[in-house]
Chain A
Amino acid sequence: MATHEVTFPITDESEILKLRAGDEVTVQGHIIGIRDRTQIRIFDQGVEPPMDLRGAFLLHTAPGVRKLEDGRYEKVCIGTTTSARMVRFTEPLGERYGVRAICGKGGFPDDAIEPMRKLGMVYFAIVGGAAALETTQIEEIEEVAWEELMPECLWKFRVKDFGPLTVGIDAHGNSLYHDVQSAAHEKLKELYARL
């Protein structure tokens, strides 16, 4: 399994296509924080996001922050939430806004495999709960939109050595989650026979 360093937002599709399920990735550049209510606003309420999402890396997060007197936000504790709740937004994020990577914890169900293959997207698995480490890798909160959804706003973070991430679903139709579930269901048959 290969290791890669990728800078977001990406402009060259080959940066995504070279990644294979199981590979280790470290991310540089800018990433966008997004969550349930943010995506409900975009897709169910039809409000255009006030940030450019082309080539973007989206992080499933709702950070803990402190508001400074000048209106900016300072990080307190930033971590990652469970992705599966938000799987239905995968295809429109790629198709309408050109998002290339979605990062969260716990994985996406199989519904995400085909849109990711078709649109050249990847799912990155982060270690859920490892927020103290993740906070040190976020250098600055550069922009916050839709503050009224706090903490489920649209966030722009500048990151350094963000990871280690594991490619959970690649753009070639491979999903570690699918493979692990298939093997576990086979194993269950054997375990049940032993009970």
Chain B
Amino acid sequence: MSAVATDLQRAVEDAAAHLYVWALMDIPQDLRDALAEAQKRETSISGQRVLSTIMKNVGIADDEHNLVCQDTGIAVYTCRVGEHFPLHPTRIYEALKHGTERATVEHPLRSNAVHTITRENTGPNTGYRLPIVHWEFIADWDGLDVKCVPKGSGSENMSFLKMCVPADGVKGIKQFVLESIVGAGGKPCPPGIVGVGIGGSADYAMYLAKEAIARPVGTRNPDPIVAQLEEELYGLLNETGIGPMGLGGDVTVLQCHIEHADTHMTLNPVAVNYQCWAARRASAHISADGDIDFDREF
């Protein structure tokens, strides 16, 4: 490994260590705005109680530099790697893993990672194939963008996949999203972001649903047909009456985001991945020289 790669690897590790804790303590402004807007339109007594408690909690996390939620989740990162970024993804992965461990030990954060059969703890929020990293590669660029999305289990347990058939059409997609969110009730800490992945294959649809929950709240899919479906589902989901924390009310979801992929002529997969109201997310840009910019959202 060259000296440049070593310094750069350290920069990526520093960025990851910061991003994990930052995401857990300081929720993004777009989410704060969406929660404040939800508080304005909620009319039920229990829903008002829940939303005012949420707002109070966000303020206390700011004032006391504490975590918004105790569930430090599983660390999920999305990396956009420029083709000329001078650190190979194997080393980027290593840096993200070490950064996650450092954040967990130094803060300290609750360590959630266990072996999936023995249930024994595997390390400071790391383990075999943990953290989880999504990769995207960008042509004609020498930078790296890293987004950390700590994913809590309450919402991740409310993930659903259905292999609809072409004859189910878009109606089948809408019905499945609606029945999933009604069935989830208060368990995923509503009101949150409903991520929907459509098309591709079974695994890719769920991957897309996870990408969808990590978008800034209320951003729309660039494809107008998909954006229209986002709008329609957002409206329908808020008519279900599930309400904040499933206690009944007007605001069931803050948003519905959809990511799509083209698919086989006989496939029509739909995946739902829920993100709780504490939709933690933090991003950084790392230049080829190792400079870190924590203000760059993607």
Residues of A within 8 A of B (CB): 1, 22, 24, 37, 61-64, 66, 76-82, 84, 105-107, 125, 127-136, 151, 164, 166, 168, 176-177, 179-181, 183-185, 187-188, 191-192, 195
Contacts and interface: CB of A to CB of B under 8 A. Distances in A.
A77 B67 contact: yes
A135 B243 CA distance: 25
Interface of B: 45-46, 49-50, 53-54, 56-58, 60-61, 64, 66-72, 107-110, 119, 152-154, 157, 171, 174-175, 178-179, 182, 185-189, 236, 239-243, 245-248, 276-278
Contacts of B247: 125, 166, 168, 176, 180
Contacts of A125: 186, 245, 247
A66 B111 CA distance: 12
User: Would you list the 5 A-B pairs with minimal beta carbon distance, nearest first?
Assistant: A79-B70, A106-B187, A132-B61, A130-B57, A64-B110
Contacts, number: 160
Contact of A105 (B60, B243, B245): B245
User: Interface of chain A, helix or strand or loop or mixed?
Assistant: mixed
Contacts of A181: 182, 185
Nearest to B108: A66
Given A64-B110, A105-B186, A133 B57 contact: yes
B270 to A, nearest CB: 14
Given A76-B66, A106-B187, 10 more contacts: A64-B67, A66-B108, A79-B70, A106-B186, A127-B245, A128-B186, A131-B69, A132-B57, A133-B56, A134-B57
B53 A195 contact: no
Contact of A132 (B49, B64, B171): B64
A34 B61 CA distance: 24
20 contacts: A22-B45, A63-B70, A64-B67, A64-B108, A76-B66, A79-B71, A106-B186, A106-B187, A107-B246, A127-B50, A129-B57, A131-B71, A166-B49, A166-B245, A176-B247, A184-B241, A191-B178, A191-B240, A195-B174, A195-B175
